[in-house]
Amino acid sequence: MEEQNQMSRATRSKKKMKRWKKVSLIILSVILVLFLAVGAFAAKVYFDLEKTANKTYEKIDRIKTPETRKEEVNVTQGKPFSILLLGIDTGDEGRVDQGRSDSIMVATVNPQNKKVTILSIARDTYTDIIGRGTKDKINHAYAFGGAPMSIASVENLLSLPIDFYVAIDMTGLKEVVDAVGGVNVENKLAFSYNGSDFPIGKLHLNGQEALNYARMRYDDPAGDYGRQDRQRAVVSAIIKSAMNLSTLTKYQSVLTAISGNVKTDLTWNDMKRIQQEYKSALGTVDSEQLKGDGDMIDGVSYQIIAPEELERVRTLMQEQLK
């Protein structure tokens, strides 16, 4: 009898073992399927990113200045570098020229001091337009000679080498905002612009509203400086929305919006290397402003930069590339 009980217990134990093996196999199979699915999704995202990066890449013929580097920065070596960020406004009324740089920022990325410094330059800044031999508003450089003339003029103004550029069509901003599901901003000035109303407080903006929000300047007591603050707020909000996990499923529409509205001389390999080697630089992001005083020259309004202010900014930005 005891022997039969032992055999019965052994049989039940074997059955339990088989059931457990089956359950384990099912669990492992599900995990494997999920892993393969995630891997396939990640691979698709990777190749879609590479495809988009290749579409945005645009090599340019530089206008050499005394500040232009004799040898290009190699991001594989982890050296500090600079990027000129241009927000290009081509308008919505069928304008046929290539537009003007509505927003001008220079970012220095320094992995040694773990800092990114973003300098805003007022579009009406009065300076030499390199390659044209005239003085004018710095935002006219793009209209006269595209990215090469903008880069050379900024290099000359700041006595700083510009290593890369990124130009974003501001009219495409609304496509990017819509692609990420809209953006949230904290508005400090009540105003209306181009059919959109912006009360004070927290606002959720769609693409067209975000574009209007970033464009208004004449009703802002701070003028172009106030608009630059709102532009930075919209860009920051786009980044926050893009980082949201729910946005991951919309990544293709985001990439489509980017591919049609962004040009840069950063290659796909450059972007990958920067992502890998320069993460530490994102620890601190400082904002700076090249400030001038309004003045009229031949009936045209300009921002005139005082020598001491220009020297302050030049010294600050040059330090970030050491």
Q: Give 68-100 pLDDT, tens digit per residue.
A: 998 888 887 888 999 998 888 765 443 434 566
Please count the residues of the chain: 322
Query: How many domains does the chain divide into?
Result: 2
Looking at the structure, tell me whether residues 207 and 315 fall in a common domain.
yes
Looking at the structure, tell me whether residues 49 and 83 fall in a common domain.
no
> What's the whole-model pTM score?
0.76
Looking at the structure, tell me whether residues 43 and 83 fall in a common domain.
no
User: Cβ distance 322 to 309 under 8 Å?
Assistant: no
**Burial classification of residue 33, based on how many CB atoms lie within 10 Å of its CB (0-12 exposed, 13-18 middle, 19 or more buried):** exposed
Looking at the structure, tell me whether residues 154 and 300 fall in a common domain.
yes
Question: 134 is written with which tokens?
Answer: 């005239």
What confidence score (pLDDT) does residue 222 get? 84
Question: 239 is written with which tokens?
Answer: 């980044």
Residues 6+ apart with CB under 8 A from 105: 84, 85, 118, 119, 120, 121
Q: Give 261-293 pLDDT, tens digit per residue.
A: 888 898 888 888 887 778 777 667 788 889 999
Residue 233 clears pLDDT 90, i.e. is over it: no
Looking at the structure, tell me whether residues 169 and 182 fall in a common domain.
yes
CATH number of 233's domain: 3.40.630.190
Looking at the structure, tell me whether residues 24 and 67 fall in a common domain.
no
Question: 198 is written with which tokens?
Answer: 């912006």
Looking at the structure, tell me whether residues 25 and 113 fall in a common domain.
no
What confidence score (pLDDT) does residue 36 get? 54
Looking at the structure, tell me whether residues 154 and 10 fall in a common domain.
no
Looking at the structure, tell me whether residues 284 and 186 fall in a common domain.
yes
What confidence score (pLDDT) does residue 83 get? 92
Domain extent, residue 31, equals: 1-56
Alpha carbon separation from 162 to 68, 131, 212, 216, 249 (Å, rounded): 7, 16, 30, 29, 35
Domain boundary among 56, 80, 103: 56
Q: How confident is the model at residue 192 (pLDDT cuts 50, 70, 90)?
A: very high
Looking at the structure, tell me whether residues 33 and 76 fall in a common domain.
no
Looking at the structure, tell me whether residues 10 and 81 fall in a common domain.
no
Q: Give 289-308 pLDDT, tens digit per residue.
A: 899 998 999 999 999 999 99
